[in-house]
Amino acid sequence: MENRLKKFLFSLNNLWFNFNLQTRLMTVATLVISLTTGSLTFWALNRIQYETRASDTRFTRDLGLLLSANVTPLIVNNSYRELFNFSERFYNNASSVRYILYSNNSGDIFFSIPFSPSEILESDTIEYVIKIRPKNLLIIKRSIKGSQLTDVFVPLVFEEENFGFLGIGINSNPTIITTSSLTRDLTTAVFVSIWVMVILGAIFNAITITKPIKELSIGVKNITEGNFLQRINLPLGGEFGELILSFNEMGRKLQNYEEKNIEKITSEKTKLETLVLAIADGAILLDSKLRIILINPIARQLFDMDDNFELGEPLLNYLPDEIKFHLLPSLLSMLDEDYKDLSTYSTNEFCFKCTKKNQKAVRILLTIVLDQKYKSSCGIVLTIQDITKEFELNNAKSSFISNVSHELRTPLFNIKSFIETIREYNDTLTIDQKLEFLYIANRETNRLSRLVNDVLDLSKFESEKNFKFQSFCVKQLIQQVLSSYQLIAKDKKIKLLAEVEKNLPLAFGNFDLLLQVLSNLLSNSLKFSYNSSVIIIRAYLVDNYTFSRLDFKKFSYCNSKIIRVEVADTGIGLDPQYKSLVFDRFSRIENDIHTLEGTGLGLSIVKSILQNHNSKVDLITQKHIGTIFLFDLTIDK
């Protein structure tokens, strides 16, 4: 029941909102008129009914008082025969009298007509009145078998002495009942008739006016959206019929025009979209209000636009703040500029380095889009180029040149200084001093030579990607490196050890390059180890977790084995804050004793070689305890 009521209310609500304003106003006016008319009719008829009931009550009261005045002397004189005859004549002559009864002071009915006292007492009302024996006039109205009955009870008083009471029942005036029914029926008829007229008027209005207008409105909207197949089929004549025929004819002509031009338009659009999507740079086409009407995937990627992006949204919603701040004034200026003079037509260029999100560097070219007559701008084309690599290369190039210049200048200055000292003070210098100066100059020359060779090696490793890889024995690699540095280790009384796991499989890589890796790492350990200490080179198998790629924050098992190589020393160690710097070019960190010689490129060369082997070098170090360099090698399959 509740669901049906909800459905009915929902349908009624839809019907109401489908009416136009005129129909709604007419419905409200009709409702007000019907309520006013019905209320006035109901009030008038109720007023008539009230007056009729009051008149009937007064008639009943007067009739009871009249009868009481005539019968009281008879009861006082005990003339009961005359009382009975008078009462019978009164009852027969008054058609509206239903019954007459007489009761004494004891509450006993001594005469009644036309019912017997026992029949009279079957009425609860009369039985109640007899019990209370009213001392004053009492009028009671009640319903009996669909008719209204008025009971009047009058005390029989003579010279202030009570001799009982008289009861008389009088049928109410039939006009009152008829008036009540008439009031109900007339009011209902007024409401029903008015609302039947309203419903018929609404249906007529919906059929002849509202529906055609609504259909035309929907049709025009569909035509505006490009649905030229829209037609209206309503069997109407007159002006509405002519309007509908004209609308359908317009739709047919637009459909024919669309069919003739759609192929050409589609072809041109496809060419344009293909061109925009295919170019390597990002491209965005804006309208005159800076809303995006065309964009390719490259531009969406550069500005981190998610899948919820929709055409027609403002470009400024997706630009980083640093780009928006500089770009917006130029965009607005280009749209407001007058392009009647084509000499003002130009392309503006901007370069930005994003500080948030993807940290990209971009070059943005702004080109105005003019209408066919070059009178005003109708949009702007943005060409976005990702120059992040170019930006990084320029920075790296500048940094590299600066570092190399600095490193070359120091040995050259030392060589020049000592040679000029020998030349200018040749007569005053002793043989030992001259030999010492030449020894220093020779040492700086060797240092300069090593620096140039390291720079050339590093450049080669970073530019060359196609090195020849083959299987080799890791144990042989370690032994060859250790034999090369035995004399240097012996001079510092450092013990070199190798710990290679038994049955270690062959590794896959470039033997010579990895030999240089171990040489640089071992040389670095010898340089920073105390005398009489120990350096150990280890090689063993480990599970191929992401940990094996030396990313210690992530762990994912790859169900294979790799070879882990470690170079561990017990030297001076390193403060953890310098860990991220040791693999940078020309990085030379001061130790507690003195600044040791070196080019600062050895570990950079190690890093570059291992990157070509799809590996990575890392270190574990603690100051005054020692350092462990470690990297991974792929097993030959």
What does the pLDDT read at residue 499?
92
Count of domains for the chain: 4
Tens digits of per-residue pLDDT, 508-547? 988 888 888 888 888 888 888 888 899 999 999 998 764 4
User: pTM score > 0.75 for this model?
Assistant: no
Asked if residue 546 lies in contact with residue 618, where contact means CB atoms within 8 angstroms, the answer is no
> Which of the residue ranges 179-183, 530-534, 632-636 would you say has the lowest mean pLDDT?
179-183
* Residues 158 and 190 grouped into a single domain: yes
Specify the higher pLDDT residue, 164 or 404: 164
The residue-averaged pLDDT of 333-357 equals 69
* Residues 100 and 191 grouped into a single domain: yes
Q: Which of 607, 630, 632, 613 is nearest to 470 (CA)?
A: 613
pLDDT above 70: percentage of residues in the chain: 68
CA distance 546 to 549: 5
Tens digits of per-residue pLDDT, 359-396? 678 888 888 877 766 567 778 888 888 887 777 667 76
Asked if residue 476 lies in contact with residue 490, where contact means CB atoms within 8 angstroms, the answer is no
* Residues 26 and 149 grouped into a single domain: yes
* Residues 415 and 447 grouped into a single domain: yes
Four-residue CA torsion sign, 462, 465, 468, 474: positive
State the burial class of residue 599 (Cβ atoms within 10 Å of its Cβ: 0-12, 13-18, 19+).
buried
Specify the higher pLDDT residue, 546 or 480: 480
Please report whether residue 8 resides in a domain.
no
Q: Which of 463, 485, 506 is the last residue of a domain?
A: 463
The residue-averaged pLDDT of 58-74 equals 83
The residue-averaged pLDDT of 162-178 equals 75
Specify the higher pLDDT residue, 267 or 99: 99
Kindly tell me if the per-residue pLDDT of 480 is higher than 80: yes
The residue-averaged pLDDT of 601-625 equals 82
Alpha carbon of 144 to those of 116, 147, 579, 612, 625: distances in Å? 18, 5, 113, 116, 120
The residue-averaged pLDDT of 142-167 equals 80
Tens digits of per-residue pLDDT, 495-506? 999 999 999 999
Specify the higher pLDDT residue, 204 or 25: 25
CB atoms within 10 A of CB 334: 19
The residue-averaged pLDDT of 443-461 equals 69
What does the pLDDT read at residue 116?
74
* Residues 513 and 560 grouped into a single domain: yes
Specify the higher pLDDT residue, 192 or 157: 157
**φ, ψ of residue 614 in degrees (nearest 5):** 60, 40
The residue-averaged pLDDT of 602-630 equals 84
What does the pLDDT read at residue 551?
42
Q: Domain range for residue 437?
A: 392-463
* Residues 164 and 122 grouped into a single domain: yes
* Residues 178 and 91 grouped into a single domain: yes
Between CA 296 and CA 310, with CA 320 as vertex, the angle to 5 degrees is: 40
DSSP sequence for 14-41: HHHHHS-HHHHHHHHHHHHHHHHHHHHH
What does the pLDDT read at residue 567?
92
* Residues 65 and 29 grouped into a single domain: yes
* Residues 286 and 399 grouped into a single domain: no
Please report whether residue 421 resides in a domain.
yes
Query: What is the CATH classification number for the domain harbouring 443?
Result: 1.10.287.130
Query: What is the CATH classification number for the domain harbouring 598?
Result: 3.30.565.10
Listed in sequence order, the residues at least 6 apart from 104 whose beta carbon sits closer than 8 Å to its beta carbon are 110, 163, 164
CA distance 286 to 260: 29
Task: Give the pLDDT band of residue 566 (cuts 50, 70, 90).
Answer: very high
* Residues 573 and 458 grouped into a single domain: no
Specify the higher pLDDT residue, 192 or 535: 535
Q: Which helix (H) or strand (E) holds 519?
A: helix 511-527
The residue-averaged pLDDT of 142-170 equals 81
Q: Which of 386, 411, 431 is the last residue of a domain?
A: 386
Please report whether residue 490 resides in a domain.
yes
Please report whether residue 269 resides in a domain.
no
Query: What is the CATH classification number for the domain harbouring 140?
Result: 3.30.450.20
Q: Which of 463, 498, 515 is the last residue of a domain?
A: 463
* Residues 138 and 166 grouped into a single domain: yes
Task: Give the pLDDT band of residue 186 (cuts 50, 70, 90).
Answer: low
* Residues 455 and 493 grouped into a single domain: no
The residue-averaged pLDDT of 181-188 equals 66
Four-residue CA torsion sign, 452, 453, 459, 462: negative
Tens digits of per-residue pLDDT, 213-240? 667 677 777 777 767 666 766 655 556 6
Tens digits of per-residue pLDDT, 44-54? 767 776 777 77
- DSSP code of residue 601: -
Please give the structure tokens belonging to residue 558: 């790859």
Mean pLDDT of the chain: 75
Specify the higher pLDDT residue, 403 or 79: 79
Please report whether residue 11 resides in a domain.
no
